[in-house]
Amino acid sequence: MKKVVLLASLFMMWVGIASAQKYACVNTEYILSSIPEYEQAQKSLDKYSIDWQKEIETKFQEIDRLYKSYQTEANLLPDDLRTKRQNEIIAKEKEAKELQRKRFGSGGDLEKKREELMKPIQDKVYSAIEKTAETKNYAFVFDKAGSATLLYVSPKNDISDEILEQLGYGKGKSKTSTK
């Protein structure tokens, strides 16, 4: 009996403490899409990606041209020249695949460029979130962008516009309202 009373009182204390904590949410997609520097960085990343993709496609087109040329001449070539051309095509293909990995693979140029362009903006946003949370005594701030980890949030608890205002991109300056 004492255990039940003790457990019940501990539970009531926990509920009291938990209900006293303040919660809020933000939509980081909305915040970032409202910051012109972020949009510009995204456009810059897209340009790098397109340019690098064209570079890689050009290499593969060259390989395709070499292979077609080889196929038409293969029967006429001596064995040593045929082997040399095959090795040349294989080497070019390896080179193209290595370039593709270097540009778009894990730790590649695109990832490094994304880190270089986006991280300062994201750090600025997260600092503003942290400052607002500390100022307003929020125990937790959830991000409702992208994932279904938060199924409902009351609009009165969404501090995304406050974060934009703190960053100098007030509510009236945002271009979309996808909250």
Tell me the pLDDT tens digit for each residue of 33-45: 999 999 999 999 9
**Mean pLDDT across 124-138:** 88
**Mean pLDDT across 110-135:** 92
* Top-confidence residue, 4 or 27: 27
Contact 108, 102 (CB under 8 A): yes
pLDDT for the residue 112: 96
Residue 60 belongs to some domain of the structure: yes
Residue 52 belongs to some domain of the structure: yes
Residue 37 belongs to some domain of the structure: yes
Residue 93 belongs to some domain of the structure: yes
pLDDT for the residue 12: 52
Q: Which two tokens stand for residue 15?
A: 């509920």
Instruction: Specify the number of domains making up the chain.
Output: 1
Query: Comparing C-alpha atoms, which of 129, 131, 127, 109 is closest to residue 51?
Result: 109
Given pLDDT bands bounded at 50, 70 and 90, which one contains residue 148?
A: very low
Given pLDDT bands bounded at 50, 70 and 90, which one contains residue 173?
A: low
Query: Helix, strand or coil for residue 151?
Result: coil
Residue 9 belongs to some domain of the structure: no
Residue 146 belongs to some domain of the structure: yes
Residue 7 belongs to some domain of the structure: no
Q: How far apart are CA 53 and CA 58, in angstroms?
A: 9
Given pLDDT bands bounded at 50, 70 and 90, which one contains residue 19?
A: low
Q: How far apart are CA 88 and CA 69, in angstroms?
A: 12
pLDDT exceeding 70 applies to what percent of the chain? Answer: 79
Residue numbers of the domain that contains 80: 22-173
Residue 61 belongs to some domain of the structure: yes
**Mean pLDDT across 146-152:** 56
